[in-house]
Structure 1
Amino acid sequence: MDLPAHTYLDLKGIPYRRLEFSSETDRGAANVARALGFEEGQMVKTLIFRTSEGELALVMLGGDRHTVSGHLKRALGSRNISLADPNKVLEVTGYAVGSIPPFHWQPTGFRSLLDTALTEYDELGVGAGVWGQEIIISPNDLICASGAEVVNLTRRDP
């Protein structure tokens, strides 16, 4: 199955692997990791946050991580941030929450942040846009594909 995320990577010449898991798998990075034989931290959560100024930004974290609020606020330059409404996420990305690819759909100027902890792995898994389809990609290739800024979002110590 060729998906827009695959086409994007192919056109950019960015290497990746395609893996599949059962679409009956329960949602969540831990379940995807188990199904594919990876660590939970290697499965990337793609979250869309909204700032008080109305800006939306993509935030990528390992499946076993949560943001330190102050770090994310500093990175986004906003004192008030929240997860974007799922309907707004669908409108902006074209994807429902749960399998948003971290590249190909962003308009010019859309900010993407990748947590530094993700760079410690050789391979990462990202959603391909359809539940049950996963893209395996190196951190550097993910940064290239997404145009992400690498920022500490999860570690309390700098």
Structure 2
Amino acid sequence: MVENVLEQLIDLFKKGQAQFRVLEHAAGGKSSQSVAEIRGTELGQGAKALVCHVKGNGVKLYVLAVLPADKQADLAKLAQALGGRRASLASPDEVKELTGCVFGAVPPVSLHPDLKLVADPSLYERYDELAFNAGLLDHSIIIKTEDYKRIVHPELIEFLKGNSPS
């Protein structure tokens, strides 16, 4: 299991010479909107990370799918893009095992070798900074979007619901 997620993220971003800051705050509610309000950021700046299973066509993998917090994932599109037939959200136990985090605290960074990292390209299109929970419900990181992209470099896959541009 992944441990010390916050420390690993800080180390990764420092080594990459990223412009970022860590916020300690009250634990957010159940919604991305409530966490954005606590952070003082826009909802769309949030980098929402979903731990998913992709299966079918001989494919069986875990994926950390990252998208803007004000958008919804189309899991069928995600599965198709990765060569699978279907995708579903992982169980709370699987999330904990693969990320070291509880639901809602998962950062958009894979620290586990069996967790493939992908992001929807729209994540980079609207804001100069991204915000996300940093492994704990009461800590967030706000990082320059370009630094996140450069250091974390997820595979880009379009998997948002709907066809409207962001």
Give the TM interval when normalised to the shorter protein.
0.7 to 0.9
Name the stretch that deviates more: 27-36 or 7-16: 7-16
Deviation string 1:78-120 (CA, Å, 9 cap, x unpaired) is: 111100111011112221221112226131x742111122112
Query: Match of 1:49, as an amino acid?
Result: C
Deviation at 1:126, TM superposition (A): 1.5
Deviation string 1:50-79 (CA, Å, 9 cap, x unpaired) is: 012330011011111111234212222211
Distance 1:94 1:35 in 2: 23
Secondary structure of 2:63's counterpart equals: strand
Deviation at 1:155, TM superposition (A): 5.3
The yes-or-no answer on 1:126 pairing with 2:126 is no
Percent of aligned pairs with the same amino acid = 30
Query: Match of 2:138, as an amino acid?
Result: G
The yes-or-no answer on 1:38 pairing with 2:41 is yes
In the TM superposition, 1:8-27 aligns within 5 A as 8-23=12-27, 25-27=28-30
Q: Which 5+ residue runs of structure 2 have no aligned equivalent?
A: 1-5
Q: RMSD across aligned C-alpha pairs, in angstroms?
A: 2.0
The yes-or-no answer on 1:87 pairing with 2:93 is yes
Between the two proteins, the alignment pairs up a number of residues equal to 155
TM-score, normalised via structure 2 length: 0.82
Query: Match of 1:33, as an amino acid?
Result: A
* Structure 2 CA distance for partners of 1:141 and 1:155, relative to 1, 3 Å: farther
Query: Match of 2:63, as an amino acid?
Result: A
Query: Match of 1:119, as an amino acid?
Result: Y
Match of 1:72 in 2: 78
Query: Match of 2:34, as an amino acid?
Result: N
Distance 1:104 1:54 in 2: 17
2:10 corresponds to which of 6, 15, 27: 6
1:111 corresponds to which of 113, 116, 140: 116
Distance 1:18 1:150 in 2: 26
* Structure 2 CA distance for partners of 1:139 and 1:153, relative to 1, 3 Å: farther
Q: Which runs of 4+ in 1 moved over 6 A?
A: none
Distance 1:90 1:69 in 2: 20
Distance 2:110 2:62 in 1: 16
Name the stretch that deviates more: 132-141 or 148-157: 148-157
